[in-house]
Amino acid sequence: MNMRRIVAGLAVSAAIAGLAAPVAAKEQADLILHNAQVLTVDPAFSVRTAVAVRGEKILAVGGEDLLEAFTAAKVIDLKGRTLMPGFNDTHVHPKPVSPNDIAVEAATSIAEVQAMLRAKAKELGPGKWITGYGWQESNFSEKRNLSRADLDAAAPNNPVALLRAGSHSAAYNSAAFRIAKVDKSTPEPATGLIERDAGGEPSGIIRERMDVVSKFIPDPGWEAMRGPTITWLKEMLALGITSLHDASGTIDDEPLGKGGTDSKDLDPLWGGSNMTWKRAREIYATMGDQLPRITMYIIHPGAARLKAFPYHTGYGDTRLRLGAIGENAVDGGFTGPTAWLLTDYKGQPGFRGKGRFTDAELQELVDSAAKLGWQMGIHCIGDAAIVQTIKAYHHALTTIPDPAHAPADRRWFTDHFTIMPPEETMTTMAQDHVMISQQPNFLYNLDDRYAALLDDWRLAHNNAIATPVKKFGLFMAFSSDNLPIGPMVGLYAAFTRKGPSGAVRGPEEAVSRSEAIRMYTANGAYLSWEEKIKGTIEPGKLADMVVLPFDPLTAPEEMFLKGKVDMTILGGKVVYERPKS
**pLDDT, one tens digit for every residue, the chain (581 residues):** 343 443 344 344 444 444 444 556 899 999 999 999 999 999 999 999 999 999 999 999 999 999 999 999 999 999 999 999 999 999 999 989 889 999 998 999 999 999 999 999 999 999 999 999 889 888 899 989 999 999 999 999 999 999 988 788 899 999 999 999 999 999 998 878 899 999 999 999 998 888 899 889 988 888 889 999 999 999 999 999 999 999 999 999 999 999 998 865 554 444 467 899 999 999 999 999 999 999 999 999 999 999 999 999 999 999 999 999 999 999 998 877 789 999 999 999 999 998 999 999 999 999 999 999 999 999 999 999 999 999 999 999 999 998 887 777 999 999 999 999 999 999 999 999 999 999 999 999 999 989 999 999 999 999 999 999 999 999 999 999 988 888 999 999 999 999 999 999 999 999 999 999 999 999 999 999 999 999 999 999 999 999 999 999 999 999 999 989 999 999 999 999 999 87
Domain parsing of the chain, residue ranges: 100-214, 326-511
Instruction: Answer yes or no: same fold for 100-214 and 326-511.
Output: no
Could you give the angle at which helices 222-238 and 277-287 cross, rounded to 10 degrees?
60
* Residue 448 CA: distances (Å) to CA of 139, 206, 472, 485: 11, 20, 29, 19
Write the DSSP assignment of 119-180 as a string of letters.
Answer: HHHHHH-TT--EEEEEE-GGGSTT-S---HHHHHHH-TTS-EEEEETTSSEEEE-HHHHHHH
Length of the chain measured in residues: 581
Phi, psi of 189 (to 5 degrees): -70, 145
pTM for this prediction: 0.87
Q: Which helix (H) or strand (E) holds 297?
A: strand 293-298
C-alpha distances in angstroms, 350 versus 338, 344, 457? 13, 6, 19
Answer for the pair 86, 433: CB distance below 8 angstroms, yes or no. no
Distance (Å, rounded) from C-alpha 115 to C-alpha 109?
10
Q: Report how far residue 315's alpha carbon sits from residue 112's, in angstroms, rounded to the nearest whole number.
A: 45
Sign of CA dihedral 182, 187, 192, 193: positive
319 CB-near residues (< 8 Å, 6+ apart) = 284, 288, 289, 291, 293, 294
Q: Which amino acid appears at position 2 of this protein? A: N
Separation of alpha carbons 461 and 349, rounded Å: 21
Query: Taking the CB of residue 150, how many other CB atoms lie within 10 A of it?
Result: 21
In degrees and rounded to multiples of 5, residue 127 shows phi and psi of: 85, -15
Look at residues 235, 230, 231, 242 and name the one whose alpha carbon lies nearest to residue 546: 242
Dihedral angle at the C-alpha atoms of 291, 294, 299, 302, nearest 10 degrees? 110
The residues with which 567 forms a beta bridge, in sequence order, are 547, 577
The pairing of beta strand 567-570 with beta strand 545-548: antiparallel
Assigned architecture for domain 100-214? Roll (3.10)
Q: How many CA atoms lie within 13 A of 298 on its CB side?
A: 31
**Beta-bridge mates of residue 320:** 294
Task: Return the CATH architecture of domain 326-511.
Answer: Alpha-Beta Barrel (3.20)
Say what the pLDDT of residue 360 is.
98
| Rounded distance between C-alpha atoms, residue 31 and residue 54, angstroms | 7
439 SS3 class: coil
C-alpha to C-alpha distance for 206 and 452, rounded to whole angstroms: 19
Q: Distance between CA 455 and CA 452 in Å, rounded?
A: 9
Segments in 21-65 forming alpha helices (H): none
Distance of CA 329 to the CA centre of its chain: 16
Closest CA to 230 of 279, 297, 171: 279
CA distance 295 to 267: 22
Alpha-helical segments (H) within 200-331: 211-214, 222-238, 277-287, 303-308
Distance separating the N- and C-terminal Cα atoms of the chain: 74
DSSP E strand boundaries for 23-95: 27-34, 37-39, 47-48, 50-54, 57-62, 70-77, 82-85, 87-92
**pLDDT at site 266:** 52
